[in-house]
Amino acid sequence: MTAQSSPKAAIADRLAEARRRTYELIEPLDDEQLNRVYSPILSPLAWDLGHIANFEELWLVQTVGAREPLHGDLGRLYDAIENPRKTRGELPILRDAELRSYLADVRERALDVLAEVELSADAEDPLLRGGFVYEMLIAHEHQHNETMLQLLQLVDGYEPPPRPATEPPPPGPEALAVEGGEHEIGAPGLERGFSYDNERPRHTVELAPFEIDRTPVSNGAYIAFIEDSGAEPPLYWQRDGGDWIDTAMGRRDRIDPDLPVIHVSWHEADAYARWAGKRLPSEREWEAATIAAGPNDDNPLGLPGAGRAWEWTSSDFLAYPGFAAFPYEEYSQVFFGDTYKVLRGGSWATHRDDLRPSFRNWDLPQRRQIFAGLRCARDAR
Ligand SMILES: [Fe+2]
């Protein structure tokens, strides 16, 4: 096996790719913009950057490599649970040159540890088995890139990286019929690839027959809803004469009626579905539908248009039967309950490697800064 094709080299490449993306996002910004608090519900970018490096240090250097941290107990400032977003701008976090060297120093140490560890499928440490902890760190950085892009919508004149190409879905019937009966949902065991604890175990659910729209709700359809019902427009939209325009990043772009709507809350998504004579799908229905639609290499989510806008579901974020927290309770267990609603799929800002039918995202039902829209469903007629 050549060095290029070894699993460790592949992990190092993917860690580097995630980091390149992080740097690309902040490249146009100065230190003042990285430190600025733009919104109480979004961290300053400097916090996200320090948190990305600190999470890497915690898992890939301290936990796996048994090394001491570089900055003592600095990590407590980057604990997402201890430090709610509205307080993060005031914390004595690393900034400017110190922050940049921390990112680089942690990465160097993480690569030193990677050279030493045993990653085989039967490695003794479950964190290392099959490279789990590295996959977790790569996915974590991807997910923070998406959160950073949420904040970047507020930066006037920001030029975002190009979005993945959008092919309009091929013509077809309005809805896909999914048979009732038993459906398997959830991720298989970790020996079959990376997933988060909340996606496991795979289990059988009983569903009544239902229909789900082939495509997500478009901006054009959403305009009809707000104009008919008087509902609030999505975040960043403004009326300009007879047009609707998008003001994110200080721009004034005409809304493209064909793109999936984003920046709507769960409450608004639910109201839209009812206005359309339909309803939100449950997360089980959504996943059963993606599997019925046939995930493939071009579209790992099966459903046309999936992966452009997160799709709100009717479901609360709950543990699957037989759930076991791994590797730590704060990833998902502390969020289970009726406070958060599940979103499925992914958005234009989600790394393509993270699109999978079993992935569960969650957020508060009033949130609109996330790149979320919806797809409607209804009971079979
Ligand atoms: Fe995080």
pLDDT class of 119 with cuts at 50, 70, 90: very high
Please state, in angstroms and rounded to a whole number, the distance separating the CA atoms of residues 49 and 43: 10
Instruction: Give the distance (Å) from ligand 1 centre to CA of residue 28.
Output: 23
Instruction: Give the distance (Å) from ligand 1 centre to CA of residue 80.
Output: 6
Please state, in angstroms and rounded to a whole number, the distance separating the CA atoms of residues 37 and 30: 14
Task: Give residue-wise pLDDT tens across range 295-325.
Answer: 998 899 999 999 999 999 999 999 999 999 9
Instruction: Give the distance (Å) from ligand 1 centre to CA of residue 194.
Output: 17
Instruction: Give the distance (Å) from ligand 1 centre to CA of residue 240.
Output: 38
* pLDDT score of 54 more than 60: yes
pLDDT given for residue 24 in this prediction: 95
pLDDT given for residue 15 in this prediction: 98
Instruction: Give the distance (Å) from ligand 1 centre to CA of residue 213.
Output: 33
Spatial CA neighbour of 67 closest among 78, 56, 76, 77: 56
Q: Do 187 and 202 form a contact (C-beta atoms < 8 A)?
A: yes
- DSSP letter for each residue of 171-200: P--SEEEE--EEEEES---GGGS---GGG-
Instruction: Give the distance (Å) from ligand 1 centre to CA of residue 142.
Output: 10
Q: What does pTM read for this prediction?
A: 0.95
- Report strand pairing: 377-379 vs 210-213: antiparallel
Task: Give residue-wise pLDDT tens across range 255-264.
Answer: 999 999 999 9
